[in-house]
Amino acid sequence: MKFLRSLTARIRRAVRYRWERITTNMPLRMKVGRFGIWLVKIGRTLQVCYANWNSELRMKVEVDRTISDYCTIHVSEEISQRKALSFPSPTAQSDKATPMVHALFGIKGVAAVTLSRYEIHIMKGRVFSWQELLPSIEKVVMEHLTAK
């Protein structure tokens, strides 16, 4: 019994020592953070691969490299019957706006939305980044497409 207490005490001391070293070591914390970001990217890739394999709803996001305020979301389900339907503001063409368009304009930072059959074009405000907007935008699009 004494041996087990001694062993557990040594293990606790070793874990505590290592934990203190890890939590105060900034380069290691940065590596752990980068590893977490990498895991998120891998998770998203695996999710998309599974959806493609399972013939589920597919969505691909492309941010325009030449004009960084524009983004195109390609989807596997039909969004609009029209060739192009443009909403430069939340109040424009309110009779033709879908609940998804209203929800997209509800996201702070979305400046304009254009719908075509299998694409959604979004323009953001200049002070916003796609990293902060895309999770909310993807959620709105997925909710709209799965509601059908």
Looking at the fold, whether 32 and 104 belong to one and the same domain comes out as: no
Does the structure show a pLDDT above 90 at 94? Answer: no
54 DSSP assignment: T
Supply the pLDDT for residue 104: 92
Distance CA 32, CA 133 (A): 25
Range of the domain at 16: 2-51
| Residues 74/138, Cβ–Cβ less than 8 Å | no
Looking at the fold, whether 45 and 90 belong to one and the same domain comes out as: no
Q: Hey, is 118 helix, strand or coil?
A: coil
9 backbone dihedrals φ, ψ, rounded to 5°: -65, -40
Q: What are the residues whose beta carbons fall under 8 Å from the beta carbon of 146, sequence distance 6 or more?
A: 57
Looking at the fold, whether 62 and 16 belong to one and the same domain comes out as: no
Looking at the fold, whether 92 and 133 belong to one and the same domain comes out as: yes
From 51, 67, 87, the end of a domain falls on: 51
Looking at the fold, whether 6 and 22 belong to one and the same domain comes out as: yes
Lookup result for tokens 């979301």: 73
Looking at the fold, whether 71 and 91 belong to one and the same domain comes out as: yes
Supply the pLDDT for residue 44: 72
Supply the pLDDT for residue 48: 66
Supply the pLDDT for residue 46: 73
Confidence of residue 147 (pLDDT cuts 50, 70, 90): confident
Distance CA 126, CA 1 (A): 66
Looking at the fold, whether 16 and 63 belong to one and the same domain comes out as: no
From 36, 51, 66, the end of a domain falls on: 51
The percent of residues in the chain predicted with pLDDT above 90, rounded, is 21
Mean pLDDT of 111-138: 91
Give CB contacts under 8 A, 24+ apart, made by 51-57. 57/142, 57/145, 57/146
Domain count across the chain: 2
Looking at the fold, whether 45 and 63 belong to one and the same domain comes out as: no
Supply the pLDDT for residue 122: 95
Q: What is the mean pLDDT of the chain?
A: 83
Distance CA 80, CA 22 (A): 52
Supply the pLDDT for residue 52: 56
Distance CA 122, CA 114 (A): 6
Looking at the fold, whether 74 and 98 belong to one and the same domain comes out as: yes
Confidence of residue 76 (pLDDT cuts 50, 70, 90): confident
